[in-house]
Chains A and B, each alone.
Chain A
């Protein structure tokens, strides 16, 4: 158990470092936040009052202590723009992003891992090289470009090409505006709105996972126990589904944690293109409005998610890989 305790301590220290870093970063910015927070018509007195209100006239050490202390208590301050608590704003936006990211991540693995296996089984052949170029091309494509290309095909294209109504997908928001749909119809409406954003994120993610799984599976295929399983007459589906998959699972778990930053980046673009009211959109709006408490809060939130994901992967790893269990005990 002491291993887990040490990991918790590491994660907390890291979190504190990140909180400090964000503070330093924001304070390094040129200019006085109070200057561009007041309306253009404000007087110097207004700016001074605001500076006092926000505590910007206090020494840096005190500002830092107040900020760090507040973060620890889960208080991320108040949005300059809406005067709402930042934590409330983020929690309101989080479910959309978590659902979008969660479903996409699931699909990412469901598509990416079998694709990588398929390639590894044909390693070095023409089909493998072709697939590598294709997955790398998708991996090389900006998320927002894929999103726009899908919009071009499935909203505009679907109408001009005369595709069936089912393939004419909405590309804006999470619900059809106006009519409030309930129950099954409401869910269906939400699902139709989710198709393009989810496909965008899953495509980029799956391409990355396939690239990785290909080499991970290829490494494992050299192992002697794969030969043994085959010699015993195990069918290909059993070799891959049971032996190979089981052996790359720990790596996939680590990869899942490592892919979180990429997923966050992707969701910022997807939420921007499809106008989804998630965290990414909230952060972009805050950045454009120079609403620093929200920007800082969202950054802390993302960092906490990344640190937690890495921590969870670290803790789960020995459970999934008995060889590591022996080492870390």
Chain B
């Protein structure tokens, strides 16, 4: 049997972890008989330690929070929110970034300069600060976080796509397509973009981890997802003052978050490394935590 390279084993592990979390996030809240939002007999159920049963004999894998809600079920419900926002936010950012970067490179001139100046100005404000300001100005909630994650995350992708499109448009097959009379948009869409999106896909994958982290940060500070709807960030915030008496309430959701972001980042790293041969200069810029 062929020996599997260690790097691939790490990636396989990451994919398996991510699938496990996805599966659990889908199934656990569906199958569980406990309502992760309902508050029952608080005094009897609250702060039960992990791996134990409550007075009614119900088993709690990770114990309960201060309102007696099962931590594991809540964590998996939160996983849906965090994953959806992380993936959704990055995809919106990727779409904006691809369009902005491609147009800037393709049109050149004033379009290019204005787009890139706008991107530079946004990049000069630390993304968390930008997120905090936006989240504070608008009503906090699911949709706000999603839009704001997209609106503040596109600049990296735009720069990468712009660079790639500039490189590709100089290649002979683009000229050939234009000589054949293919319209501008056709050339851009059919011939240039497919050859330029590789690094953008890597950036988007790495961006998912970043978006999940930022969402959790906003929710931790009370400006993201609002309780009682659980997100990993607001669950950690909810256990913050219990860190001495019941540390699992704050720490357990963080472990789920770390495993998820770790898995996504390792997969993104692997994608980047496999692209690095063709795109060394851009591969290096990727993966800066903002």
Q: Which residue of B has the minimal Cβ distance to A208?
A: B289
A60 interface residue, CB < 8 Å from B? no
Summarize B's interface: helix, strand, loop or mixed.
helix
Contact B287 A211 (CB under 8 A): yes
Contact A265 B120 (CB under 8 A): no
Within the assembled complex, what's the spacing in Å between the Cα atoms of A166 and B136? 41
A137 interface residue, CB < 8 Å from B? yes
Q: Which 9 A-B pairs have the closest CB atoms?
A: A265-B128, A261-B126, A140-B261, A145-B254, A29-B137, A17-B121, A287-B136, A140-B262, A264-B126
Could you say which residues of chain A place their CB within 8 Å of the CB of B75?
none
Contact A142 B220 (CB under 8 A): yes
Most central of B118, B132, B223, B289 by chain A CB within 10 Å:
B289
The 8 Å CB contact of B258, one of A26, A141, A144, A273, is A141
Contact B120 A140 (CB under 8 A): no
Could you say which residues of chain A place their CB within 8 Å of the CB of B266?
133, 136
Contact B126 A124 (CB under 8 A): no
Q: Report the minimal beta-carbon distance from B255 to chain A, rounded to whole angstroms.
A: 9
Q: List 15 A-B contacts (CB under 8 A).
A: A14-B121, A17-B118, A18-B121, A18-B124, A25-B134, A29-B137, A125-B6, A141-B257, A142-B220, A145-B254, A268-B221, A269-B220, A283-B129, A284-B132, A306-B124
Q: Which residue of B has the minimal Cβ distance to A295?
A: B133
Contact B217 A144 (CB under 8 A): yes
Q: Which residue of B has the minimal Cβ distance to A307?
A: B124
Within the assembled complex, what's the spacing in Å between the Cα atoms of A18 and B155? 14
Could you say which residues of chain B place their CB within 8 Å of the CB of A258?
288
B contact set with A: CB distance below 8 Å: 6-7, 9-10, 117-118, 120-122, 124-130, 132-134, 136-138, 209, 213, 216-217, 220-223, 233, 236, 239-240, 243-244, 247, 250-251, 254, 257-258, 260-262, 265-266, 269, 284, 287-290
Summarize A's interface: helix, strand, loop or mixed.
helix
Contact A25 B289 (CB under 8 A): no
A110 interface residue, CB < 8 Å from B? no
A139-B220 CB under 8 A given contacts A14-B121, A261-B127: no
Q: Would you list which residues of chain A between 99 and 154 have a CB under 8 Å from chain B?
A: 124-126, 129, 132-133, 136-137, 139-145, 148-149, 151-152
A28 interface residue, CB < 8 Å from B? yes
Q: Report the minimal beta-carbon distance from A238 to chain B, rounded to whole angstroms.
A: 26
A: interface residue count bin: 35 or more
Contact B243 A156 (CB under 8 A): yes
Q: Report the minimal beta-carbon distance from A104 to chain B, rounded to whole angstroms.
A: 14
A290 interface residue, CB < 8 Å from B? yes
Q: Which residue of A has the minimal Cβ distance to B273?
A: A215
A96 interface residue, CB < 8 Å from B? no
Could you say which residues of chain B place their CB within 8 Å of the CB of A15?
124
Contact B265 A136 (CB under 8 A): yes
